[in-house]
Amino acid sequence: MRRLVAIFAFTLASCASGPPAPDWEASAHGALKSFQSSYLAGRTQAAEQDFARARSALSATGRADLVARAELVRCAARVASLEFDDCPGYRALASDAAPAERAYAAYLAGKAQAADIVLLPEHHRSVTSASLGAVADPFARLVAAGVLFRQGSLAPEGIATAVDTASAQGWRRPLLAWLGVQEKRARDAGDREAADAIGRRIRLVGGEEKAR
């Protein structure tokens, strides 16, 4: 029996057994994975094209709930990169979303209530700055860090975990965002040496981005 899951709870995938996946499902799954990879790497144009392919494949089913899930994948990638908005693509489809998707949308907005928490993937139910490192999936870890940051409850060790996670994966977009947070904290604390070192790292990552 086929089921829909996401990139970290909302991407599309199929069970190993059973009949072959329909073309739309395979296309949407591949496009969403490509979108995530391109977006986190800072390849904006490629990411937009990948997402358009995924949305087109899902729209062909006439199911707004599936398109809403894809929009949440895009929102999650933005939260992981500290690019906060009200997830307009999802909001336009929210009335047709399932309870789990609505709970996840509330979580990404930093507004999840007790009734939402129980519907979230387990690794998002009680994550804190101290427990971020225990979240096995790197993308989920960065999303959780982004949510905590949005709520104003991310401690310095959580910021360091986010930087290390993005760096280890080579995810340029979130790495630049989190390094920017680190640099500002260092300058605000009067630690010029640390701030300058972080600034050099930002220029290294950013310079490579411009050269692409």
Where do we find the tokens 């979303």? 97
Mean pLDDT, all residues of the chain: 89
* pLDDT above 90 coverage of the chain, percent: 79
User: Sorting pLDDT into bands at 50, 70 and 90, what band is 6?
Assistant: very low
Least confident of 1-15, 27-41, 100-114, 123-137: 1-15
Helix, strand or coil, per DSSP, at residue 158: helix
DSSP letter for 153, please: -
Alpha carbons 29 and 73: distance in angstroms, whole number = 11
Angstrom CA distances, 201 to 12, 177, 207, 209, stand at 35, 12, 10, 12
Angstrom CA distances, 14 to 3, 8, 21, 168, stand at 6, 14, 7, 28
pLDDT (tens digit per residue) in 81-129: 999 999 999 999 999 999 999 999 999 999 999 999 999 988 888 888 8
- Mean of the pLDDT values across residues 35-39? 96
- Mean of the pLDDT values across residues 38-49? 97
Alpha carbons 93 and 51: distance in angstroms, whole number = 16
pLDDT (tens digit per residue) in 148-183: 999 999 999 999 999 999 999 999 999 999 999 999
Amino acid in the structure at residue 60: A
Q: Structure tokens of 39?
A: 């977006």
